[in-house]
């Protein structure tokens, strides 16, 4: 399972998320995308559940800022759209809010801690509701 090697590298090793939180048992109920480099090595992954919740979105540090995250986010929303989902939501780390805003998501609610990391809930509902989203 290549997606776990990417998630382990970022969430568990880089961000110190406890393994028991990272491995949550929900993967079998989700659609997944895996981004690979030109040699076929996994560099990013994301998942979406049947209710439009996007999660475990991660890109290895040396591949950030190359558009991989944007491509994965579009691909994972396409997985959801194929299942009739039009409303997407996620829990964004505070450091990623700007990225998700550029992708048409809006923050709502209060900031909270998840695995000791500051997060905020964000949504993109429905497609084309936001003027900048195509």
Q: What is the pLDDT along the chain (134 residues), one digit of tens a residue?
A: 556 676 666 666 666 766 766 676 676 888 999 999 999 999 999 999 999 999 989 999 999 999 999 999 999 999 999 999 999 999 999 999 999 999 999 999 999 998 889 999 999 977 545 444 43
Architecture per CATH, domain 2-124, reads as: 3-Layer(aba) Sandwich (3.40)
Q: Tell me how far apart the terminal alpha carbons of the chain are, to the nearest angstrom.
A: 33
| CA gap 107, 14 in Å, rounded | 25
pLDDT at residue 68, as a whole number: 96
pLDDT at residue 115, as a whole number: 85
| CA gap 78, 84 in Å, rounded | 10
Beta strand spans in 53-105 (E): 53-59, 88-93
Residues 6+ apart with CB under 8 A from 64: none
Q: Give the domain ranges of the chain.
A: 2-124
């Amino acid at each position: 399972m290549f997606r776990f090697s990417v998630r382990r590298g970022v969430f568990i090793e880089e961000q110190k998320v406890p393994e028991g939180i990272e491995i949550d048992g929900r993967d079998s109920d989700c659609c997944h995308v895996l981004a690979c480099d030109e040699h076929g090595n996994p560099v990013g992954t994301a998942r979406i559940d049947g209710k439009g919740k996007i999660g475990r979105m991660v890109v290895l540090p040396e591949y950030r800022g190359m558009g991989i995250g944007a491509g994965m986010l579009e691909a994972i929303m396409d997985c959801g759209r194929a299942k009739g989902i039009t409303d997407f939501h996620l829990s964004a780390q505070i450091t990623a809010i700007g990225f998700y805003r550029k992708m048409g998501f809006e923050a709502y609610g209060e900031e909270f801690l998840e695995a000791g990391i500051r997060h905020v809930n964000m949504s993109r509902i429905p497609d084309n509701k936001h003027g900048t989203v195509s």
